[in-house]
Structure 1
């Protein structure tokens, strides 16, 4: 079998179903047991994008069973209302993916790892702290969504943003239409016309709003009134005590407003892991690490042997 052998599956979450793709290794044999990896997509993304078609596919080629799932309320997964980005539920999604993996006869439940991209990297780190079924964890240009929403996503006025979110949620509870915000401009040109200069916003737009990375379920949208759940959340809380598994952090050295560079160095410093590594992709940015062949290959050069050693 080739790396393109993908099984689309569905399994129970809290009160809805999760949609996921399982990437299988070459020459897959149902009678064998394989190490497995949960791959978590970025905020506003979906399982068919970087977490699945780039890192999931590459790790499957190296002999791992990889599950890439759509977050609850997003993509092809269930849950209502749509486009909720609640960090606690996103972390719970990772636990449910592990629950599903351990039921598969071809997965070795003692050899499960986790990888996440962007916001998915932050969620993966937090999940590893509270679910030690995860034996090794990798963050690819990981972002602490709690910090980001308290800072840039609230225009550095988190209390003012919370007031607005509360008013909007009250209005919606009384029957007003949902306020779905798009995190990105419609195009790079539109962003520049509106004065956007930040590398992360412009490169995110290039990835998500063009043929380069665009997928039907990569909505880049969020339900504004429910974003308050992220304000008091910290991806790295208690990392000094609870994050003891082997850790690999991959970041680019071109920092942008989403903060992966600073978050990467922070969690590398704070993690209790005795076996921890940071890989800095020199000359590359946050979104280069999503799909550009050279920086992705640079990341995988470290990530693949890391998982092979620990799983």
Structure 2
């Protein structure tokens, strides 16, 4: 069985909380390949990026670091519940720094995996940080596109104006308010007329015992969302994304757009060694924790990392 150590390390001006998943028979005198695992938007290290993918990869012989995003979970940073793509990508760089400081990690054999928003953050980190030698995106979502489209109801200029008004109010003394990204329950979502599979299944995952964790807040400080409005997770992928890449998606597409984003980055990446894995008959949130689609993913992901790390 793998084991878990809780660790912390310094980020820009605060401490990051992380879990270190260690492989069975771990021996500090040896050196291991390592992987940074990045959680979805509104999630935390104890959910899918940790208790599913990090756990499975540790069983395959990797040291896996799962961190709480800055301003979220048990990590530091104020105000709380900021979702800033640049800082989320910076978090991955600091995770690599930490892994490279560990004597039992081979500093030249570090890869990264992420789920949902974390999958696209992982790809962007790989574009700009070539210490990462192999990249896997699990049902990755380009957060900048999602903000401009779904969050803005396809009216990004109006959303930008609303964000500006919130920041102005806060600069003049108003209290920042974090918005809950999801309905309180599936029943409440349906009563409100919501039919999108991703919203309904996200609610079923995060708001029930299936996936709920204390730090999986599904909350966001919307007044700081302007940082994402002009962001593209895949910027410069045609030039700089050269590492081996694996993209895993389900073919039951929903409003968050992982299916289209997966095919887009697979097409745009300059990587000579790139793969797309389509879990047929499964959705975005099925790939978070359901045994069969996770097994489809891991049957490809584990050999991929073993080959390239």
- Aligned 1:90-101 pairs, distance under 5 A: 90-101=88-99
User: Take 1:174 and 1:29, find their aligned partners in 2: how far apart are those partners?
Assistant: 55
Does 1:308 find its partner at 2:306?
yes
**Counterpart of 1:139?**
137
Partners of 2:152 and 2:83 in 1: CA distance = 15
Q: Equivalent residue for 2:59?
A: 61
List per-residue Cα deviations over 1:35-65 (Å, max 9, x = no partner). Answer: 0000000000000000000000000000000
- After superposition, the CA RMSD in angstroms is 0.4
SS at match of 2:174: coil
Task: Classify the secondary structure of the residue corresponding to 2:44.
Answer: coil
**Offset at residue 179 of structure 1 (A):** 2.1
- Shift in Å, 1:173: 1.3
TM-score w.r.t. the length of structure 2 is: 1.00
Measure, in 2, the Cα distance between the counterparts of 1:27 and 1:150.
47
3-state SS, counterpart of residue 253 of structure 1 = strand
Report the CA distance between 1:261 and its aligned residue: 0.1
The alpha carbon displacement at 1:291 in A equals 0.1
Distance 1:81 1:158 in 2: 24
> Paired residue for 1:211?
209
Which of the residues 103, 117, 120 maps onto 2:118? 120
2:176 counterpart residue number: 178
Q: Where in structure 2 are there 5+ consecutive unaligned residues?
A: none
Could you tell me which residue of structure 1 aligns to residue 70 of structure 2? Answer: 72
Per-residue displacement from partner, 1:144-190 (whole Å, max 9, x unpaired)?
00000000011111110011111111111111121211110000000
Aligned equivalent of 2:161, options 139, 143, 163: 163
Specify the SS of the correspondent of 2:126. helix
- What's the secondary structure of 1:46's corresponding residue? coil
Matches within 5 A, 1:222-237: 222-237=220-235
Q: TM-score by structure 1 length?
A: 0.99
Structure 2 match to 1:28: 26
Q: How many residues align?
A: 309
Runs of 5+ unmatched residues, structure 1:
none
